[in-house]
């Protein structure tokens, strides 16, 4: 049975404008007609008429950087060590449902434990559960200077981690072949680390040019795209030259490296939600304070400059959020990345929405079927009360969401407000500091002083 949606304003993703007096006709899970109401096919008796003539209608949003296995973690150990992989899969499914309720009808997960995210993808695709369309990598391929090899060498990278230590191109290629056999949608390589981590403080590339080039060639030969994590210049440069498909972050790339990125056609996905949330929300008392937010202020400053140049140079930008940390919890802040695109990189709100829909849609598993509102595409639609073209930050307000269509069906699933965390899911820090006699005396002096004031 067809559904006829009257749209107050319609943003299809095909232009920068939202048109008035438009209608979308959905037939089963796909769009049958998009255009002026005057030209729309007439509703046959019994067909459903849906009136959103007071609302703003746009394609379902897409977030290409959501880590379903992380569980809103507070520490690296939470990510890699705690909670059985089986529990993470169930928890990640619920996380995916939260992201969907925020208006994101497709997501990508670059880096997971075991086969957690491909399994969530398959469970949703088999209609066992409601959830967004998921594209998934396996664990990320990493080396000594990359992410995930955080622990002392005598501990190593545990099998439950979200990365696999591959010490050279041969090991990387073997891992790529295994992951492709296991059904991943794309390959993720951690080309460098994080400026905060003591083992990778200098942000050098974990693989040399020949190694990453060989791995990318093999992934492409097997028909899979490659996404890399690269915050530093060297890792970004090698990645661009190797012909990777997506570079996450690229914050410290130089203008010379940007030229290589332009030449290679790689897409960039800064994923700065983690930075801006960390800068804005981390408080004294948080273990990360103040070093981590300070590092992110420096990264944001560098990234704002180079990504503004990247936008002007015509690089194709993707919207991703690095959701799954305690500072970027599922379903909460995804749309804030679009505000970051406007505020720091100079995109117009319409362009930012197109990055999160059309551009993101060109990368995901269902490329060509999602990302814009066109005849023949999946009816993944967000109905919104407001005008995100006037104020992009409105998209963060979930109370403005009037309806979400996923493959033509209205999303009615509610997340359980009673969901909570279990002790067994996480590592725990018992004390913030060492309570020596001297420290206790100092604390006493402080409180006497405060009482006297
Ligand atoms: Zn990430």
The pLDDT tens digits of the residues spanning 17-31 come to 999 999 999 999 999
Are 97 and 71 contacting, i.e. CB atoms less than 8 angstroms apart? no
pLDDT tens-digit readout, 50-80: 999 999 999 999 999 999 999 999 998 999 9
Confidence tier at 196 by pLDDT (50, 70, 90): low
CA of 268 to the centre of ligand 1 (A): 13
Are 270 and 319 contacting, i.e. CB atoms less than 8 angstroms apart? no
Residue 81 tokens, joined: 């060590």
Burial tier of 446 (Cβ tally within 10 Å: 0-12, 13-18, 19+): exposed
pLDDT of residue 197: 57
Average pLDDT over all residues of the chain: 95
Half-sphere exposure of 271 (CA within 13 A, CB side): 30
351 within some domain:
yes
Q: Mean pLDDT, to the nearest integer, of 286-299?
A: 91
The secondary structure element, H or E, covering residue 261 is: helix 255-264
Q: What CATH number is given to the structural domain containing 224?
A: 3.20.20.140
17 within some domain:
no
Are 358 and 370 contacting, i.e. CB atoms less than 8 angstroms apart? no
pLDDT of residue 200: 45
13 within some domain:
no
Higher pLDDT among residues 284 and 323, named by residue: 323
CA of 11 to the centre of ligand 1 (A): 29
Are 107 and 137 contacting, i.e. CB atoms less than 8 angstroms apart? no
pLDDT of residue 191: 97
Confidence tier at 428 by pLDDT (50, 70, 90): confident
Rounded to an integer, what distance in angstroms lies between the CA atom of residue 121 and that of residue 115? Answer: 10
Burial tier of 395 (Cβ tally within 10 Å: 0-12, 13-18, 19+): buried
Q: Does the pLDDT at position 199 exceed 60? A: no
pLDDT of residue 453: 83
DSSP conformational letter for 66: B
401 within some domain:
no
Cα 315 to chain centroid distance, Å, stands at 19
What sign for the dihedral angle of Cα 117, 86, 83, 150? negative
CA of 405 to the centre of ligand 1 (A): 27
CA of 245 to the centre of ligand 1 (A): 16
pLDDT tens-digit readout, 171-191: 999 999 999 999 999 999 999
CA of 156 to the centre of ligand 1 (A): 20
DSSP conformational letter for 330: T
pLDDT of residue 256: 98
Q: Mean pLDDT, to the nearest integer, of 360-366?
A: 98
* SS3 category, 78: helix
Q: Mean pLDDT, to the nearest integer, of 116-120?
A: 98
End-to-end CA distance of the chain: 73
Q: Mean pLDDT, to the nearest integer, of 282-296?
A: 90
Nearest to 250 by CA among 339, 176, 186, 345: 345
222 within some domain:
yes
CA of 326 to the centre of ligand 1 (A): 13
pLDDT of residue 288: 87
CA of 161 to the centre of ligand 1 (A): 14
441 within some domain:
no
142 CB-near residues (< 8 Å, 6+ apart):
148, 149, 157, 163, 164, 165, 166, 189, 190, 206
437 cis-preceded (ω within 30 degrees of 0): no
CA of 328 to the centre of ligand 1 (A): 11
Residue 48 tokens, joined: 């459903």
Rounded to an integer, what distance in angstroms lies between the CA atom of residue 391 and that of residue 148? Answer: 38
156 CB-near residues (< 8 Å, 6+ apart):
165
141 within some domain:
yes
Phi, psi of 286 (to 5 degrees): -70, 140
Q: Give the percent of the chain with pLDDT over 70.
A: 98
119 within some domain:
yes
CA of 87 to the centre of ligand 1 (A): 20
pLDDT of residue 434: 87
Work out how many domains the chain is built from and give that number.
1
DSSP conformational letter for 255: H
CA of 64 to the centre of ligand 1 (A): 10
212 CB-near residues (< 8 Å, 6+ apart):
169, 189, 191, 205, 228, 238, 239, 242, 244
Q: How far is residue 61 from each of residues 82, 228, 305, measured CA to CA in Å?
A: 31, 22, 26
Q: Mean pLDDT, to the nearest integer, of 246-269?
A: 98
pLDDT of residue 338: 98
Other C-beta atoms closer than 10 Å to the C-beta of 448 total: 10
* SS3 category, 305: helix
Structural domain including 235 reads 61-371
CA of 255 to the centre of ligand 1 (A): 24
């Amino acid at each position: 049975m067809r559904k006829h949606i009257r749209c107050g304003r319609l943003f299809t993703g095909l232009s920068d404008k939202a048109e008035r007096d438009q209608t979308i006709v959905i037939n089963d899970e796909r769009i049958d007609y998009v255009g002026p109401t005057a030209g729309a096919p007439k509703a046959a008796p019994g067909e459903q008429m849906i009136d959103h003539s007071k609302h703003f209608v746009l394609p379902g949003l897409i977030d290409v950087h959501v880590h379903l296995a992380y569980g809103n973690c507070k520490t690296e150990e939470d990510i890699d060590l705690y909670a059985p992989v089986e529990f993470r899969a169930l928890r990640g499914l619920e996380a995916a449902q939260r992201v969907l309720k925020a208006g994101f009808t497709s997501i990508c997960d670059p880096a997971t434990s075991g086969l957690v995210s491909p399994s969530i993808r398959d469970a949703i695709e088999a209609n066992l559960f409601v959830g967004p369309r998921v594209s998934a990598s396996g664990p990320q391929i990493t080396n000594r200077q990359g992410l995930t090899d955080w622990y002392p060498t005598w501990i190593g990278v545990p099998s439950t981690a979200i990365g696999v230590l591959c010490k050279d191109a041969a090991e990387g290629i073997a891992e790529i072949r295994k992951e492709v056999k296991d059904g991943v949608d794309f390959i993720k390589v951690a080309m460098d680390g994080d400026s905060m981590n003591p083992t990778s403080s200098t942000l050098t590339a974990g693989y040399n040019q020949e190694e990453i080039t060989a791995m990318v060639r093999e992934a492409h030969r097997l028909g899979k795209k490659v996404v890399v994590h690269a915050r530093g210049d060297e890792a970004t440069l090698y990645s661009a030259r190797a012909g990777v498909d997506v570079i996450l972050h690229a914050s410290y790339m130089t203008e010379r490296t940007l030229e290589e990125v332009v030449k290679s056609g790689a897409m960039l996905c800064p994923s700065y939600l983690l930075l801006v949330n960390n800068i804005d929300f981390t408080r004294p008392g948080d273990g990360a304070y103040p070093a981590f937010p300070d590092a992110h202020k420096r990264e944001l400053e560098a990234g704002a400059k180079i990504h503004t140049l990247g936008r002007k140079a015509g690089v194709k930008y993707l919207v991703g959020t690095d959701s799954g940390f305690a500072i970027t919890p599922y379903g909460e802040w995804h749309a804030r990345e679009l505000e970051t695109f406007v505020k720091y990189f100079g995109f117009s709100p319409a362009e930012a929405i197109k990055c999160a829909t059309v551009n993101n849609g060109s990368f995901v598993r269902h490329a060509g079927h999602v990302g814009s509102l066109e005849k023949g595409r999946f009816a993944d639609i967000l109905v919104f009360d407001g005008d995100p073209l006037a104020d992009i930050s409105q998209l963060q307000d979930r109370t403005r969401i009037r309806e979400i269509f996923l493959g033509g069906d209205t999303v009615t699933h509610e997340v359980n407000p009673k969901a909570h965390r279990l002790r067994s899911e996480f590592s725990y820090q018992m004390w913030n500091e060492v309570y020596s006699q001297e420290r206790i005396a100092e604390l006493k002096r402080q409180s006497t002083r405060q009482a006297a004031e």
